[in-house]
């Protein structure tokens, strides 16, 4: 059976031969034009005049468009129509598109775009969290506050109070394929758009608005992206709309791709945060109450910032039962790129706030950090949970017996701060298994012994858990469609609303289809996502790709299977429910009919061999104003232990070893899922270590290329990297009991940040209080601080 | 600006093209010769997605001009396989799931092949540092390293 097989990526052969086509590789028709934006050089001010004569006169330029030239909507916002494609009367950040150059070549368009003579009455920009707070510059009026119990009283009555505040940097997506789109004008004013997007329906919607067409006049196709990570959920709108508008005006195909520097300067990134925490612990380290204050820097337009900031609040508990909690969130508006979706969607920041608090508490209370975490975990799911019972009962690494107090805590309602019962908690088992596998206790002692020698090179080791909520928090997005055809030769055409960005979604869903029909994968043709085939799709985001689309495809396949079974059974006077689709054949009434022959018979018997499938996630409901409900269908779990070495003289460091155990439910494809876990960890560790975004006091992004923005490289790879999947099934009825795996492993990278904190702490003094990313510079400064 | 006539070999085949003297080799390969396997990841020689070989030497084709290819032998990802038969590196990348979105894969294959031609028995550290100029945002690198190490072992056995 092809489900659960570790098959390679569906396009692997195309990838290794260089034949896989990304947008910029699609052969373009003769006469295709190329686009580039002229960008704002200042962060804030009134746009007084633009003299574009030099731009128009530049070689190869066909047209130059400003906001006034746009025929219909001037908006590329995915939320509240606050994001003009081209600036009108004001500019809001350095890099904001002001005008659009249409030229005969990519390089001609880019050269001409530099020639605009722009006059802006420059004003003092709001760039930082402090400046935004001082100016009360924010989205959504005031702060959003969710509460459970009475945190302030619980903290006041606690034996220990831990408090602090830290900064969390943003992150550039750095998808290796930059944003790109290609628009092909059709007869009667229709438009076909190829876009590197996670959200074809949104592209269709925005292009239709910009062309004054109903959505049926626009068809969007996406075969693959060269990475997305959330950065192609809304950030492709500007390119697709530009191409479509220019194609409409010129009647010629139009293509646009951002150069890397432009991509980094124009597009939104992960939100940076400041999080303040104050928590009360009892004498044994059990949390009594906690208060979080989250400040999110959202940039100039709202984009997806509200749900991102919501998810940061939703993950403020990380993996711990908080009897009393108060979470306050501020969504601040600044003159910087409009921060957007990025793998985890606010979850990583919220979770890091809690893990940072745990790290600080362990230091202050003198408790072993993993033991402190386990004492505060939610109670393990009793039965039918995410995982089978571990081979051995979880052992406390401290050697302490689980006391009555633990049971008392288990007796508390296992609800999150937003009132959702945690029914599938699996981290006790995962933690115990991981600690044993990676010999945590022995290595922790070895690290302590190494550091006790007092050398310049210090080591650190740290554990962090992940509990990540799966579903779009905007409940209506939890729906998906599929379209499946069986042709009369038995070959199968598969289509669904999910997009392929490298994660292997297409292969996983094809495995589902092949399994339903009992045929080999070679019988299933994977086809490009196409708004003309499956309408009204949600973004491939929130890790939901295979959960939603796999289920929609399963439903479509089962519909076809039912029709085929009914016909074939009637032919042979057999019962339809006894018909089996297995091993490339249909087994009916004692006969074995090859699948191709079965399809042919059904065709001749006038059986409809095309079906749609539709799926909506059950059980979810969410009141975001009250902060109450069940926003998630289930949780995905995981845990990591990272060991680092750090040079206390320079702050430089290396990750020596990482061990991960991650819960993908009953994996649809372990090879692809482990790939997601490894890539997620490395990307998460990059976010918190070397990936630093720097804006100067004029609001110019100074880290606008890989020369200045450091994502992990081969040479940063841990020497030892052990990654395994936790052997469990989803207790909820997901596709083949699998679990979503796109975002959750990203947060395993938090263990690398905490390991650096551990290494710095060995230098003595107080709590290291690292900000993120913990660049070598920051580590060096923390060592100096601790030494004083 | 007048175009320059250039004669070179690409993947063993003689090619001729006219190009603007300011055009990069990457643009020539992609836009004039229709070989889109090499990708532009950054355009500044920092990501390795445009890696090709020039007379056997590994270069970023975004940092070289098309006119500089005159008389040179260029190797791109399209020339790694022998017809339908994949190179051992290509097979191992598939076997080890050493790719995700695939856009960095051509550059990494070119770089890895160039390493194994110079050094058929690299240590893991040598592989990591040789490939350090090729960025990948999806995989976390580990599977790629395993694939390259295993290819090297298999090719040593076969030779």
Q: What are the CA-CA distances from residue A465 to residues A290, A373, A724, A771 (Å)?
A: 19, 9, 15, 20
Cβ count within 10 A of residue A150: 15
Domain locations along chain B: 4-79, 88-158
Gap from B37 CA to chain A (nearest CA, Å): 4
Measured between CA atoms, the residue of chain B closest to residue A13 is B94
pLDDT at A326: 98
Cβ contact (<8 Å) for B80 and A9? Answer: no
Alpha helices in A92-236 (DSSP H): 106-113, 129-135, 151-156, 200-211
Is the previous residue joined to A773 through a cis bond, with omega within 30 degrees of 0? yes
Kindly name the residue from A177, A500, A691, A743 that is annotated as catalytic: A743
Cβ-count burial A166-184 (b if 16+ within 10 Å, e if not): bebbbbbbbbbbbbbbbbb
CA distances from A40 to A66, A266, A303 (A): 13, 10, 19
Q: What are the residues whose beta carbons fall under 8 Å from the beta carbon of B83, sequence distance 6 or more?
A: none
Question: Cα-atom radius of gyration of chain B, to the nearest Å?
Answer: 16
Q: Strand (E) positions, chain B?
A: 4-10, 13-19, 51-54, 57-60, 73-75
Contacting B residues, span 39-78, partner chain A, CB-CB under 8 Å:
39-44, 46-47, 49, 76-78
Of residues A16, A227, A504, nearest to B137 (C-beta): A227
B29 touches chain A (CB under 8 A): no
DSSP conformation letters of A356-408: HHHHHHHHHHT--HHHHHHHHBPPPP-SS-SSPPPSS----TT-PPP-HHHHH
The residue written with tokens 């400040």 in the block is A295
How far apart CA A129 and CA A137 sit, in angstroms, is 9
Contact A755, A462 (CB under 8 A): yes
Q: Is A743 known to be catalytic?
A: yes
The alpha carbon of residue B105 is apart from the nearest alpha carbon of chain A, in Å, by 6
Q: What is the pTM of this model?
A: 0.96
- Cα of first residue to Cα of last residue in chain A, in angstroms, is 63
Q: Which residues of B touch A227 (CB under 8 A)?
A: 100-101, 103, 137-138
How confident is the model at residue A461, as a pLDDT? 98
Whether residue B134 and residue A260 make contact (CB cut-off 8 A), yes or no, is no
Average pLDDT over residues B20-27: 96
**Can you tell me the distance from the alpha carbon of A3 to that of A511, in angstroms, rounded to the nearest whole number?**
5
H helix count then E strand count, chain A: 20, 29
Q: Under an 8 A CB cutoff, do A723 and B35 touch?
A: no
pLDDT for position A404: 47
Statement: B4-79 belongs to CATH 3.10.20.30: yes
Angle between helices A670-688 and B142-158 (to 10 degrees): 120
Q: Do A12 and B102 touch (CB under 8 A)?
A: yes
Tokens of A342: 């990025």
Please tell me which residue of chain A has the smallest CA distance to B85: A17
pLDDT along chain A (788 residues), means of 10: 90 98 98 98 98 98 98 96 97 98 97 98 98 97 95 98 98 98 98 98 98 98 98 98 98 98 98 98 98 98 98 98 98 98 98 98 98 97 53 44 57 95 97 98 98 97 98 96 98 98 98 98 97 98 96 98 98 96 96 98 98 98 94 98 98 98 98 98 98 98 97 96 96 97 98 98 93 98 88
Q: What angle do CA A498, A499, A500 make, to 5 degrees?
A: 130
**Portion 668-687 of A in contact with B at CB < 8 A:** 671-672, 674-675, 678-683
Whether the Cβ atoms of residue A62 and residue A110 lie closer than 8 Å to each other:
no
Give me the helices (H) in A20-75, please. 53-57
CATH code linked to domain B88-158:
1.10.150.120
Rounded alpha-carbon distances, angstroms, from residue A560 to A581, A707, A780 = 12, 53, 63
**What is the least distance, in Å, from the CA of A624 to any CA of chain B?**
32
| Alpha carbons A455 and A461: distance in angstroms, whole number | 17
Beta carbons of A525 and A491 less than 8 angstroms apart: yes
């Amino acid at each position: 059976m092809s489900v659960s097989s570790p098959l390679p990526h569906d396009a692997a052969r195309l990838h290794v031969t260089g034949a896989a086509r990304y947008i910029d590789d699609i052969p373009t028709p003769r006469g295709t034009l190329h686009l580039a934006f002229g960008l704002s050089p200042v962060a804030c001010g009134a746009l007084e005049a633009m003299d574009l004569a030099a731009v128009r006169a530049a070689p190869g330029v066909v047209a130059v468009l400003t906001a006034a030239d746009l025929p219909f909507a001037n908006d590329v916002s995915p939320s509240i129509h606050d994001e003009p494609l081209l600036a009108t009367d004001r500019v809001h950040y350095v890099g904001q598109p002001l005008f659009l150059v249409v030229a005969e070549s990519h390089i001609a368009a880019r050269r001409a775009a530099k020639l605009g003579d722009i006059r802006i009455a420059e004003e003092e920009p709001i760039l930082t969290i402090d400046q935004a707070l001082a100016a009360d510059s924010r989205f959504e009026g005031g702060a959003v506050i969710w509460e459970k119990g009475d945190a302030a009283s619980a903290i006041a009555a606690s034996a220990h109070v831990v408090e602090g505040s830290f900064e969390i940097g943003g992150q550039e997506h750095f998808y290796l394929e930059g944003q790109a789109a290609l628009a092909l004008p059709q007869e009667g004013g229709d438009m076909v758009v190829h876009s590197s997007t996670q959200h074809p329906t949104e592209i269709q919607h925005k292009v239709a608005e910009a062309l004054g067409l109903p959505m049926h006049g626009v068809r969007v196709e996406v075969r693959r992206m060269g990475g997305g990570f959330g950065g192609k959920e809304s950030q492709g709108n500007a390119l697709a709309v530009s191409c479509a508008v220019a194609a409409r005006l010129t009647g010629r195909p139009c293509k646009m791709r951002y150069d890397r520097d432009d991509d980094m300067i124009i597009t939104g990134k992960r939100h940076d945060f400041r999080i303040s925490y104050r928590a009360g612990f009892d004498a044994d380290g059990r949390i009594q109450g906690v208060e979080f204050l989250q400040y999110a820097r959202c940039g100039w337009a709202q984009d997806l910032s509200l749900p991102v900031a919501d998810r940061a609040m939703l993950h403020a508990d990380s993996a711990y039962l908080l009897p009393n909690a108060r979470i306050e969130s501020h969504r601040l508006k600044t003159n910087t790129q409009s921060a957007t979706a990025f793998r985890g969607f606010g979850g990583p920041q919220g979770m890091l706030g809690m893990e940072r608090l745990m790290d600080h508490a362990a230091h202050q209370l003198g408790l072993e950090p993993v033991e402190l975490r386990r004492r505060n975990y939610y109670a393990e799911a009793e039965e039918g949970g995410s995982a089978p019972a571990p081979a051995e009962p979880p052992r406390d690494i401290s050697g302490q017996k689980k006391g009555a107090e633990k049971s008392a805590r288990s007796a508390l309602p296992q609800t999150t701060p937003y009132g959702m019962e945690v029914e599938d908690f699996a981290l006790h088992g995962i933690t115990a298994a991981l600690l044993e596998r990676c010999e945590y206790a022995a290595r922790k002692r070895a690290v302590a012994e190494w550091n006790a020698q007092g050398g310049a090179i210090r080591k650190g080791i740290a554990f962090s858990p992940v509990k990540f909520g799966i579903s779009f928090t905007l409940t209506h997005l939890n729906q998906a469609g599929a379209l499946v055809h069986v042709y009369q030769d038995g070959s199968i055409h598969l289509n669904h609303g999910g997009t392929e960005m490298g994660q292997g979604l297409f292969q996983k869903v094809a495995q589902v289809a092949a399994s339903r029909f009992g045929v080999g994968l070679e019988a299933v043709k994977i086809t490009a996502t196409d708004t003309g085939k499956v309408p009204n799709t949600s973004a491939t985001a929130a890790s939901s790709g295979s959960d939603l689309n796999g289920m929609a495809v399963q439903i479509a396949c089962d519909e076809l299977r039912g029709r085929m079974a009914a016909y074939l059974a009637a032919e042979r006077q057999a019962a339809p429910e006894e018909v089996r689709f297995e091993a490339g054949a249909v087994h009916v009434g004692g006969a074995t009919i090859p699948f191709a022959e079965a399809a042919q018979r059904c065709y001749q018997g006038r059986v409809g061999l095309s079906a749609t499938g539709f799926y909506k996630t059950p059980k979810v409901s969410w009141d975001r104003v009250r902060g109450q409900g069940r926003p998630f269908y289930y949780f995905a779990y995981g845990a990591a232990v990272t060991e680092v070495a750090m040079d206390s003289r320079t702050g430089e460091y290396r990750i020596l070893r990482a061990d991960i155990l991650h819960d993908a439910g009953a994996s649809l494809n372990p090879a692809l899922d482990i790939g997601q876990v490894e890539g997620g960890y490395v990307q998460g560790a990059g976010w918190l270590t070397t990936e630093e975004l720097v804006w100067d006091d004029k609001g110019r992004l100074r880290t606008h290329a890989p020369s200045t923005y450091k994502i992990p490289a081969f040479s940063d790879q841990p020497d030892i990297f052990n990654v395994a999947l936790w052997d469990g099934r989803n207790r909820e009825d997901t596709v083949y009991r699998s679990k979503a795996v796109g975002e959750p492993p990203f947060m395993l990278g938090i263990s690398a940040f905490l390991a650096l904190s551990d290494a710095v702490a060995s230098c003595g003094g107080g709590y290291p209080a690292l900000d993120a990313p913990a660049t070598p510079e920051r580590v060096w400064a923390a060592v100096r601080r601790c030494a004083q | 600006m007048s175009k320059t006539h250039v004669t070179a070999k690409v993947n063993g085949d003689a090619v001729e093209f006219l190009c603007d003297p300011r055009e990069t080799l990457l643009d020539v390969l992609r836009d004039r010769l229709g070989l889109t396997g090499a990708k532009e990841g950054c355009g500044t020689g920092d990501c390795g997605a445009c890696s090709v070989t020039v007379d056997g030497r590994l270069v970023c084709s975004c940092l070289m001009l098309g006119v500089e290819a005159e008389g040179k032998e260029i190797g791109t990802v399209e020339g790694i396989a022998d017809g339908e038969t994949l190179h051992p590196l290509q097979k191992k990348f598939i076997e080890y799931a050493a790719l995700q979105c695939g856009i960095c894969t051509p550059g990494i294959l070119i770089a890895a092949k160039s390493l194994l031609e110079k050094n058929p028995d690299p240590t893991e550290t040598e592989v990591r540092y040789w490939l350090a100029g090729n960025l990948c945002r999806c995989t976390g690198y580990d599977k790629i390293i395993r694939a390259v190490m295993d290819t090297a072992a298999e090719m040593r056995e076969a030779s």
